[in-house]
Chain A
């Protein structure tokens, strides 16, 4: 074979003498070579999902390159994508179902191979019993998967509320903060329009979603003369090519954004026309302190129902007629400032006025003290942003009609684009920070406009979206019944919370409870702790897919390992049964009772579904598939197939015919024939629907759909007409089409929530009033009241509030290097040569003050734990922050690496310094998470550093006992 398995002894007698002469074909990758074949599919070395071409010869992968015909990556590929070939060869591949050896401890990694029949029967039996008794006892949590539409359906059909993916510790604040404000988000759901922007501002680490498209866009943007400002504690990643780097202290972006808004408002550098027409800035807010509706928008009595979940008859104060009118009354123009009284005497103010008041004290000087950015710099930034938006307008001659019937003959853009992701999100103040960013972008008038932020289908959706409704009462969970509602949804008011009558959480992770009301992605980071503690209740079976909870996917790694192995007095594990499905022997598989060997992305069918996280482009919906290009290794079976198989065996309604027989033969059949409702025409894939494949987005199932995808680069891209591509929050034509295509339930405008009524409803409930019936328990009352502020505000991250900052003065953050971000197998033989271990990056002044040398061993300590590692001086990190590459360090012996591998001996995991819970305060126990969304605050930890002593061993700490090799189960 030509491709050497790493280290394999192969002598390949080749000669460059034999190289082709000019214009001579070469031997090698040629179709004429009979057995050689080039197939297209979709990459899964990270969450980016580029189109790839895979050259296969004699059943083996020989070459992977980017597919030039793919809209997402246009032929480029990243370091991981090109190293995908080594994924197939990894010795860590699991190849047979494995059962923990009787009598062996979890974590010891002692397994015996079993058949799939036995494995599936074991699960079926266990789950059937749980489903018919208490479905909550089964929890399914998945990691970096891209099949949440399927796993979510499985959980819902099972009837358990205890389901989520890893979004809770990833970037849920980004999703929630933006979706609740502008009806869309960065992530795969929207992004900066760098084709037209003139100024691009990136906040925090934001490299690892949609990475290749963003790299393509940034490069083109810079070549076209665009200016790129990066605001980040660390200058690496894309910040490296920024024209200006503005160092900031971690977790303080909210203060900076507040000050920028303050300056824009103070200087009049906001887009008034945009605010007036497209946001709720002019909507009048009831300020009658005695009213049950205090702080809510005042509505016209005769509401026109465009959406049963959203009112649309809020009032303006028309500055021409000087009276109240229903918003968007033709000829009226709302006053954005001032204070008014309704006819009944109710005092009201436009939302913008409230925002302006809120911003009054958020001066650059105030923010400078928090962020470490000089006030003058903040002022300069605000001016640069505001003037670029105001004075470099773009007009595209595209006619469109807005939601209120006004025809526009062009689309205007204010070419300032932003991007942010985890850097803002992974703080316990992230929701409000992201909301502030959304408001800043709205003040500048840059939402779904040229050069600003652009949505991607299925977004924009209403704020909050109504397509997914989570259950809101405990009766939603019933034996042998599907869950009444989707396990994950978007609460719009206190009555949408999923709580028991006493206000206690129904979900194991406490998402959608009063503690974390808008936890729209669940809270995977608390599942093990909660289940172990039996708070709110113990569970029986925990099924994990692609989630490394015994290592870098837990905030409290050492504790999580202990909890997984902890037993009750009766000798039973506190979490009695743990099923792990993974393609690789990870740190977590060692703790499993049952291991299901997954395939790699090159060995299976898969969908990037519009029901889930599609790969849409700005100009239209886009989804894609994976098709197997090689046979599964050993007995590996795709998790998709396992899910469909179990769902069929357990006779879930959606997977069973009326006669009780199974409805789908397997995943492939399921994808083709599943419809969201019988006859809805809406399924997992939008391309080539209809019996003959002539329809798109909506249409009857097409039996040849997979083949049509396979023939067309495995991707379907529906390009919308130009008049549907912009202003989609308020684009009537788009909304009508989107409703027909089932991208939206209702065609109502998605008005930007400068002032967030949803939050105010929670605050009212905390005050014991408001339109909702639910009230927070006493213990949560103050917390809900404080953080559910309808106007943006900055507060120090909760962990910082609970830390003795004199003892632990430094921030510690992580990010993943580009060659490994979102990568599931960073033990990859080629990639690990680039990053075999990690250093802690410390500003030389900070390190020098502690006597730590460049390259020297040191200790980092937080109030939760300590880590020994090596130091690397860096001038590219602000002195109050230390940071490292995440998830490079591995546990000894995991991932089939040798016991002396650099990853475990010199690499380290910062998670050992982090806790999944905040210190007990007045007996109250809270997750170390955003109090609104439950986003894990894993960028909040505070640390100190000191030099290791000269006589200490030069080995990273902590160390763990290496498990027995499990992957061995090679067939």
Chain B
């Protein structure tokens, strides 16, 4: 697939927003349970605002993906069958929950916790919808695995919690450290599951072959012409046009950027107590996530590509 920046930003931004919200709610619950010292409401308000901003950013990016953004509202219609439609419904609902939660925290409403709980449920639903958009395409074998959901969830959580830690540095270094530890664990766990998906995908054998694509049972088939020489939607949408070396490089960039460097920086933070490293860790991790998502799309081999291998 040819990675679309709109979708890369959409999924990474809302992922971070979702993770951040879950972190806020986690802190809220921990405080309410007495596991943590009281955190100023301002933290939750700011956090909700940042989460909301990330979600808005993601939503805006998604509009850039559309040929007819003015008709986007129509996308809610087919929630019975389409995960994309479901995402389109759940995302605003979740955004509303985030906004309501922030408002409730700002105005100290007692129902904040219930709003937060609903928000978390919507947040998880949103992770599910987003991931299922990719998982449900069974012939995109690289995506068609529960690991896609797990990775979206863990990567969103890791980046969101790390961001929550960054925001916490303004209110409580203890909270920041605690969140950084959790972000570290989430990152490590995500490294494990993302690593698993890399391993899995490396072993995938494409179910479709040129033989099944054109229906000729001969070991040697080569395309000579695809009916167009100046390119077509099929060549623009489904081919990234980068060399294997570039794709491989992107893989290493994201492995370092999403996992190794942030973990080291979190370690440095914990060891040194210099909390300013956390912001850098988040920045690096988010940039890494852009690379990760680019790779996620680029790695997916669409069976239609079998029909678009050569011109002459």
Contacts and interface: CB of A to CB of B under 8 A. Distances in A.
- Please determine if A and B sit in direct contact within the complex, based on CB atoms under 8 angstroms apart: yes
A833 B312 contact: no
B229 A834 contact: yes
Contacts of B230: 832-833, 836, 902
Contacts of B229: 833-837, 902
B207 interface: no
Nearest to A844: B222
A873 B229 CA distance: 16
Interface string B272-312: 00000000000000000000000000000000000000101
Contacts of B312: 838-839, 841, 872
B232 to A, nearest CB: 8
A875 interface: yes
B228 interface: yes
Contacts of A855: 310
B241 interface: no
Interface in A824-842: 832-839, 841
Contacts of A874: 224
Contacts of B228: 833-834
B227 interface: yes
Nearest to A870: B312
Contacts of A872: 224, 310, 312
Interface in A489-534: none
Nearest to A907: B229
A61 B72 CA distance: 37
A875 B222 contact: yes
Contacts of B227: 834
Interface string B200-235: 000000000000000000001010100111100000
Interface string A847-877: 0000000010000000000000000111100
Interface residues of A, number: 15
Nearest to B220: A875
A838 B225 CA distance: 11
Contacts of A836: 229-230
Nearest to A873: B222
A835 B224 CA distance: 12
A354 B160 CA distance: 96
A422 B114 CA distance: 84
A846 B250 CA distance: 38
A902 B229 CA distance: 9
A472 to B, nearest CB: 50
Interface in A806-835: 832-835
Which among B220, B229, B230, B312 has the highest number of chain A CB atoms within 10 Å? B312
Contacts of A838: 312
Nearest to A841: B312
Contacts of B224: 872, 874
Nearest to A901: B230
A834 B231 CA distance: 10
A834 B227 CA distance: 5
B281 to A, nearest CB: 43
Interface string B69-91: 00000000000000000000000
A874 B222 CA distance: 9
Contacts of A834: 227-229
A838 B312 CA distance: 6
B304 to A, nearest CB: 19
B14 to A, nearest CB: 32
B229 to A, nearest CB: 4
B130 to A, nearest CB: 30
A837 B230 CA distance: 9
Contacts of A835: 229
A72 B269 CA distance: 84
Contacts of A902: 229-230
Nearest to B227: A834
Nearest to B228: A833
A855 B230 CA distance: 15
Contacts of A875: 220, 222
Interface in B210-267: 220, 222, 224, 227-230
Contacts of B220: 875
Contacts of A832: 230
A881 to B, nearest CB: 16
Contacts of A841: 312
A412 B15 CA distance: 82
Contacts of B310: 855, 872
Nearest to B232: A833
B210 to A, nearest CB: 14
A875 B312 CA distance: 14
Contacts of A839: 312
A837 B311 CA distance: 10
Nearest to A855: B310
A874 B312 CA distance: 10
Which among A834, A855, A874, A875 has the highest number of chain B CB atoms within 10 Å? A834
A841 B311 CA distance: 12
6 contacts: A837-B229, A841-B312, A872-B310, A872-B312, A875-B220, A875-B222
Q: Which 6 A-B pairs have the closest CB atoms?
A: A872-B312, A836-B229, A839-B312, A836-B230, A833-B228, A833-B230
Given A833-B229, A855-B310, 11 more contacts: A832-B230, A834-B227, A835-B229, A836-B229, A837-B229, A839-B312, A841-B312, A872-B310, A872-B312, A875-B220, A902-B230
